[in-house]
Every structure is written in structure tokens, then in C-alpha cells.
A and B are shown apart, each in its own frame.
Chain A
Amino acid sequence: MLPLLRGLLTTLKSMAEKPTTVSYPEQKRPVSARFRGRHVLNRYENGLEKCIGCALCAAACPADAIFVEAAENTDEKRFSPGERYASTYEINMLRCIFCGFCEDACPTEAIVLEDNYELSFTDRKQAIYTKEMLLNPVPAQGKPTPQQVEPGVFTRSVPEMKDPTD
């Protein structure tokens, strides 16, 4: 008799509890601080792209998911600081294993695995995210790329890292 009552008590208790079901997609749960979701390509405050097309992310990627092709910046048509920018940048999300190695390899902190986990495709082509899809929107104070800039200002490709352990 006692075990039965104990069981019923559990049932009663859980009836009073709040339901844990989240009604996705209207409602979304926050992700943990170190969550690794879909990548974004960051921009500087002035709108220039952080990515310099060095392809170190592609080299680090164990799944060979990244394809980078570089081209040369000019002050009339500047995409990123320094001489080089990514003219093509693609990640195949079907290949990606979300290990975050690309993020580690990046010398400019351009590529970051962000919170977005909503990746679904109806065909393989859709799984390839191009640079336009990955780039963050231009910040309020910035201008879109390519920009026409004053000559000789943006000469440094790799920014100074305040804290290399960060």
C-alpha cells in the first residue's frame, strides 16, 4: 500500500510542476555561453570585414568544409584592412562538425561560431553558406564594403591582439 501511495504522490507533484516543453519556434531557449552554432563573419566598427582571406580556417578545418579564395584590396575598393581580402568565402554546413577549429585558427577573429542552430536544408546546394550569408550586418556607424578609403590608413591586415589568451 505504501509504495503505491508514494507513487501517486510523485504523480501529484509533477501535476503541479510547470511544463518543460518549449513551444519552438515561437519560443527559443538561450544557449550556453560556449555554444557552437552557425558561423558568422565579423566586421569592424567601420564596416570593414575582419576576414583577410588567409584561408587558415580552411587549413584548420578537419572536415574540409571551408573554401576561401583571396584577392587584392585597393584603397578605392577596400573590403578589409591590409592587402588581402576574401573574394569568395563558403562553408558547407553539411560537412561542418562544429568543432570550432576555424575560430581558433583565425588571426583576426573574423570567423566565430555563434548561437544560431537553425540549419535545415531541402537540398545540398542550400547547405553551402556564401560570404554574403555569413557576413554580419554593417554596424550602425559603419559603411558597407567595398569602401573607398583614404590611402595609407588601413595597412595592417592582422590587428593587434590585446590579450592573446582571450
Chain B
Amino acid sequence: MGEPPVNASLPPSAETEAPIRVVLAKLGFDGHDRGLKVVARTLRDAGMEVIYLGLRQTTDSIVAACEQEDADVIGLSMHNAGHLTLAPRMVQAVDQAGLDVPVVIGGIVPADDVPTLTDSGVAAVIGPGASAEEVVSAVKASVSRQAASQ
């Protein structure tokens, strides 16, 4: 059967310009989502598509959302000091599902914990004082590193 050749006529546009899709969530039971909303707007303003899951998510619900939404990266917000258990658990769940999606965490994470987290497979840790640019570039960098490693 004669198939149209790939890339025959259409502009290269969409394939390369497609926005980064971020699944943004808070894991576990902690309080409010004000910080998460700020991050959502920051990433949107940087041209990303933010799939906003909000509060009280589980590793399973986040993995399911990633699969359905074909997300490029997971952004998790942590404020309840559970990051040392929750973040590695998220990374594990992603690995177990066979997904190639980096996990970036933000929120109140003590600097001392950062090495432990990155050792456990977290792609980037965004500290509480990070600027909008730092947030955006951490997310972008984790996506391109992941793409390069494939």
C-alpha cells in the first residue's frame, strides 16, 4: 500500500514546539494549595500546559494522570515534612509503572535533605526561596535531561 512519506509537506512546527505538559499535585494530607497555584501560574506563563490535580493525591492517582495525560514531568509540592518518604515513594511508583517521567519537588525542603532526595531519583528539588525563573528552568532541565537519556 502506498503510504504518504513522513514529513512530506507539513511544516515542522507542532512536533518540535509542543508545550511541556506538567502534572502538578500535592501528595498526602497537608493543608492548602496556595503555593501550588502560584507554581501553576508560573509554569503556564512560561508556556507550559499544567494539568492541575490539586490536593490529596496518591501515587496511584498521579501515575494514572501521567499516563492518561502523557505528561512530560511531575511536579510535587511538599509542606508537611513527609518529603523524605513521600518523594522516593513517588519515584518508585513512576518506575514501577515503567514511565519515563522525571519527578520534581518543591516546597519546604531543608537543604540537608537534597542529596538524599536526588540519590533516591528525584530529578530536581526547588527550594522555598526559588524565583520564577529558577522554577521554570528546573522543570525544563529535568525534561530535557530525561529526553536526552532515552
- Report whether chain A binds chain B: no
A residues near B (Cβ < 8 Å) are none
